[in-house]
Chains A and B, each alone.
Chain A
Amino acid sequence: MTTTTDTTAEALTDGSVDLLRFATAGSVDDGKSTLIGRLLFDSKTIFEDQLDSVEKVSQDRGNDYTDLALLTDGLRAEREQGITIDVAYRYFTTPKRKFIIADTPGHIQYTRNMVTGASTADVALILVDARKGVIEQSRRHTFLATLLGVPHIVVCVNKMDLVDYSEEVFENIRREFTEFASRLRVPDLTFIPISALVGDNVVNRSENTPWYDGSPLLSHLERLHVASDRNLVDVRFPVQYVIRPQSHDARDYRGYAGTVASGVMKAGDRVVALPAGLETTIESIDTADGPVEEAYPPMSVTVRLADEIDISRGDMIARPNNKPAALQEIDAQICWMDESAPLVKGKKYAIKHTSRWARAMVKDINYRVDVNTLHRDEEATEIRLNEIGRIQLRVTVPLFVDPYTQNRQTGSFILVDEATNKTVAAGMVGGLPRSA
């Protein structure tokens, strides 16, 4: 069993542990909370006082077993209703990796939470109840995960204990799911037969599934190669903040602070600053611990340039022969997240893309997607809460974008309602027009 031990302590401080973010999805009773409880429990991440509290509440409610789901439902309303109402983040660490779990609710009315959780995930875990097979929600969650560009999908066929660990049941689900997924962009799809309640193939290999020759879930997650999912080709450095010390010793210092969105930058590289379009050379890449030779995502660094160019927050540094498109007309898929008003044609919103704010007007709604059937309704005149659609935006200034499928950082944006200040949409830049 993988445990949090001295090996972890060493690995954590010597830097050999990396980070993997995954999002869970599944419908209400598929056992998602139980699976997370099981991962935390079997990796010894649950603490005794937390377990005591869960045991006490389980007893108070008259349950005859300890409800591990209670570990993850943190809010009063959730415990009262016995459901998860909002995305929550959980953590556990093994000697190989630290895991951040975005635990997203399964109800259809919480599509926006699934989108939130999947936006930063390397892996999506889709839970399927072995007794029910591939249902509408399995399809919806998979569609959302692929829409958000999650590179790895793991289908956990759960409750195998309730179908006598039948290989045939598992194979049927695998076949049906694979066929459905072939219509989507799924770069990596894995199936694991599990029982979250009993613990089959979650952390430990199960003896109940001798026909299954793959890894248990945790080993799979520990071994998954995610480094190559990052875009290390296209240099994109959105300028976040200009550092100009007002102190005697560093009076002439002028650095552009930001987080590398993609690509690998090196001192001496020829770069272009957008929108000015002026070319210069990277003089050095600084951090508080001194200069570094290279910067790659998701490093937060400060870049100094050889020439004095007027650059401010919202500008973008790229390579002269590899620039993002500068677009004012943007074609995008959006997920609408505002319960009080739908997205309608002609309305104006604030838009945030990388470190740049602008204003945007909805020029057109091309279609609304039915997330269950993938049917496109081209007659749609509005997009309501938890709906996905394709729209055309006109932005007040050009944004430096890449298609979302090539770059999750420069291909994404949010829309904010200027009256309420609420974040109302998550947007993903579509294929670019030929002229761009």
Chain B
Amino acid sequence: MTSHVLSQLRSLEAESIHIIREVVAEMQRPVLLFSGGKDSIVMLHLAAKAFAPARIPFPIMHVDTGLNFQTVLDCRDRWVERLGIQLVVASVPDAIDRGLVQEEPNGSRNRIQTPVLLEAMEKNGFDAAFGGGRRDEEKARAKERVFSFRDDFGQWDPKNQRPEIWSLYNGRVHQGESIRVFPLSNWTELDIWSYIAAEDIDLPDLYLAQEREVVDRGGMLFAVNEFTPLKDGETSEVRSVRYRTVGDANLTAAVASEAATLHEIVEEIAAVRITERGATRGDDKVSEAAMEDRKREGYF
């Protein structure tokens, strides 16, 4: 006789599938925002499960900063092909050429992604956008709803959120308003890795440790490539590293690691003492409320 208790991973999976189906049932035109990172890929995997044996009934959108690792783009294209899903690309370099946004002095395209995203949402008439955000990532995210209401400008107002009671989500919006939906809200980084290992999910190989040429900048290890070339006076070394998050190639640092298989990564993450963003993202360290401020502007 079975115990009728779902393991926590299967409970999280069931909850995410419930959320994804709820959006498709109630919203006019949903889209899944896909960055090519592990969280986006888990979302895509869950979406495929939610509608099997039918195809995923919405497109995915990649806000392409032009600064992606090639292996991430390759992985994206494999997923698109395998699932037979429509891919919409909103290009930041194109938006720079058109004058919609301007390159920032620090070289980060993180902030200027937001207007590009909002323009593409409007142009395509998307009224719901799935994001891979998790509440364990950051303090401001811990306060955000699963169905996160955004006004006509894509802005988040933390003081004016819809209460979320039981699993009764309210996705009603007026013209121009939208909902950001976070099916992975209750997952932690460890859950994501445990699930990826349990389901053997295809990821960009950046996540697995291998010998790479890196340069140490203030304790952060950057892979030497066309986006982060060696500067004068710097020396590189070859070390076994992997990536815990995958963002723009000019900003995302690797971590020293020997974890070359999914199970080794789960073990490593279970023992690790520093958050993924703290370890690898220079752009989140701007201020105590950097994420909250970016979300207020319409970011995720």
Contacts and interface: CB of A to CB of B under 8 A. Distances in A.
Contacts of A300: 13-15, 17-18, 21, 50
Contacts of A211: none
A91 B188 contact: yes
B185 A416 contact: no
Chain A, interface size category, equals 35 or more
Given A13-B263, A423-B170, A89 B185 contact: yes
A38 to B, nearest CB: 17
Contacts of A71: 139
Contacts of B274: 47-49
A277 interface: no
Interface string B12-27: 1111011001101100
B21 A89 contact: no
Most-contacted residue by chain B among A71, A87, A408, A413 (CB, 10 A): A87
Interface string B265-277: 0110111111100
Interface residues of B, number: 73
A259 interface: yes
Contact of B166 (A57, A100, A120): A120
A116 interface: yes
Given A49-B279, A116-B165, A245 B6 contact: no
A18 interface: yes
Contact of B173 (A9, A79, A421): A421
Interface stretch (A123-131, A181-189, A191-199, A236-244): A236-244
Contacts of A50: 275, 278
A369 interface: no
Interface string A274-288: 000000000000111
Interface string A404-426: 00001100111010000111001
Contact of B172 (A44, A47, A100, A416): A416
B8 A259 contact: no
Given A12-B191, A89-B186, A300-B21, A74 B140 contact: yes
A74 B5 contact: no
B54 A245 contact: yes
Given A77-B159, A116-B163, A12 B6 contact: no
A175 interface: no
Contact of A13 (B53, B197, B292): B197
A294 B135 CA distance: 32
Interface string B216-255: 0000000000000000000000000000000000000000
Contact of A115 (B4, B143, B165): B165
A44 B273 CA distance: 8
B142 A88 contact: yes
A240 B143 contact: no
A421 B162 CA distance: 9
B166 A421 contact: no
Interface string A331-371: 00000010000000000001011010000000000000000
Interface in A101-149: 112-113, 115-116, 119-120
3 shortest A-B CB distances, which residue pairs?
A74-B139, A49-B278, A15-B7
Interface of A: 4-6, 8-9, 12-13, 15-19, 44, 47-50, 53, 57, 71-77, 79, 85-91, 93, 97-98, 100, 112-113, 115-116, 119-120, 227, 230, 232, 240-241, 243-247, 249-250, 253, 257-259, 264, 286-289, 294, 296, 298-300, 302, 313, 337, 350, 352-353, 355, 408-409, 412-414, 416, 421-423, 426
Given A6-B267, A12-B270, A17-B9, 6 more contacts: A13-B198, A48-B273, A53-B288, A87-B143, A240-B21, A299-B14
30 contacts: A4-B270, A6-B271, A9-B266, A9-B269, A12-B8, A19-B8, A47-B272, A48-B274, A74-B138, A74-B141, A85-B159, A87-B143, A88-B142, A90-B142, A98-B191, A100-B186, A227-B5, A230-B4, A241-B21, A243-B52, A245-B53, A245-B55, A259-B18, A288-B48, A288-B50, A294-B4, A299-B14, A300-B14, A300-B15, A300-B18
Interface of B: 2-15, 17-18, 21-22, 24-25, 48-55, 135-136, 138-143, 158-159, 161-168, 170, 172-174, 185-186, 188, 190-191, 194, 197-198, 263, 266-267, 269-275, 278-279, 288-289, 292
